[in-house]
A and B are shown apart, each in its own frame.
Chain A
């Protein structure tokens, strides 16, 4: 390796050996190729096969399965996207003030707040989701307060709950999704807002912008990379999630992930499950691509 230093003709920055980056990339990318890309191919292939678990499958190119899958489960697909989108919007609304406070106003408390935001994330999210069953339980204080304030009536009016309790409802599922993926929203927002030079906001005020205008024209556009990354990191896992809908919802709130899971592991209808999985992936890829086009992959990674 020593002769690299003596390589002739090197200007200020020596030319690095061309094989080094490829050697560094190879193991990781190979792993992803075999265990991420290849499975997508086998998933596609599985969806076009016919047969059953016991007698085996043969590839028949049964494209009609996609029409069947979508025809039968479009409400679940739409519901998943709708719940995930709603949860993403709420997560953004909740995360922004906290991230802004942490990045711009917290001073020496910044690190303490970061720990508090990250710590729950390191605890089993299944256990935390189960805790929401305790919090929202029918006889618990939260439900009682909501009933006293007629919030339960309001939620019923909005068709987010079916009766005057909170658990096992659309409301509980969306609240759970919002809660579960909130750190994924906060951290990129925090990173973007931490980079925001407060002097730019000051300059906007100096140039006749009211606090709201300064936010709209300076803070918000400069935090957009964080908003884009955060919404993606929230929306994508939320759309495929079924733990919240399973633990906090009812039979009317079944999300697509739950369908895929049970078709694969309980019903054992592999082609249908694979097709649904593929549809979900394509749907999300379509939505994500629109985002990535605007932001570029380098910025998001």
Chain B
């Protein structure tokens, strides 16, 4: 049962409608075997619905799901060699931890269920907890039991539905590292659904950013961050300062001249799409430098807020035309600016990214603000 389906997970035109509402627009996605893949997006973007369709818990309205060469679209959940770590963990409260972990193997009639289950509990460092009930365990331990219960079946694909959402920050960081270690150790395909961009970036090899039932961008974490394909991605993944600019003149020495609010900017020519004249110029806060040492692009402004976070200080600098720019400076010992101070911000051409000005510069911002 285990081997024949192993291969890439391929979604073709996968769609889900609930009445008039389309939760997932036709979606094409190939998740390579053995990769750690993240589906990232705000709540309600369709990522969990996609995951549930892969698990067989939701019937697609259209499209197909392939595991390797096998079409599993119509296969019911209990016949699919896919397991899920649920957001609520969904541990069976009336069974011991060991019985929980053995559940799947028992259903498949595995003779070595107990040995394998104990091994899986060792893997998640809960070798001693087998006889206890889920209710007696802490949230972090329950999470690991849920992981062991899914992993022990050696599924073709392991689905993780916001599995770390209920944990506190410190435990979450610890579990992120552990999950990644386990994934590398067992080499299974992990598909991880999350709304936490930091979590997705830490863990995944590839991330698909979803918004309103569609994939906005699919890339590795660094590409997503450095070259977001849309304002939604730019705002949802980390912070972005978006400046409205207009191209003035052609490229020279690999640079394009642009103008924002009367200030001249130099942009790396290869980042400006052909034929685009109205732009959003995006600069990440840590790429801006207080003072003129940062590079050839300069903007003046006044510090309106400074918050010290330990490794860095985050400033809000208001430009003469009233835009607030966020700047993050490492605490490298240099003097810090104080609110009310007039400062210059600078960066070197090429550190920015460029998007079409037709896009909404607030896309993805609300979701970050309200998401709990």
Contact = CB atoms under 8 A, between A and B. Distances in A.
Contacts of B77: 202, 205-206
A135 to B, nearest CB: 41
Contacts, number: 65
A42 interface: no
B93 A207 contact: no
Interface residues of B, number: 24
A199 B86 contact: yes
A207 B94 contact: no
Contacts of A213: 78, 107
Contacts of A203: 84, 86, 90-92
Interface in B87-114: 88, 90-94, 103-104, 107-108
A261 interface: no
B92 A208 contact: no
A146 interface: no
A206 B103 CA distance: 10
B276 interface: no
Nearest to A200: B90
A197 B88 contact: yes
Nearest to B90: A203
A203 B82 CA distance: 11
B368 interface: no
B94 A208 contact: no
Contacts of B107: 207-210, 213
B86, B93, B103 — which one has the most chain A CB atoms within 10 A of its CB? B103
A202 B86 CA distance: 10
Given A208-B104, A209-B78, A221 B94 contact: yes
B94 A206 contact: no
Interface of B: 55-57, 76-79, 82-84, 86, 88, 90-94, 103-104, 107-108, 149-150, 153
Closest 8 CB pairs between A and B?
A207-B104, A203-B90, A208-B107, A205-B77, A199-B90, A206-B84, A205-B78, A208-B78
Given A207-B104, A217-B103, 9 more contacts: A203-B91, A204-B92, A205-B56, A206-B55, A206-B56, A206-B86, A207-B107, A209-B103, A214-B78
14 contacts: A197-B88, A199-B88, A200-B93, A202-B77, A203-B84, A204-B103, A205-B76, A205-B77, A205-B78, A206-B55, A206-B57, A206-B77, A206-B82, A217-B92
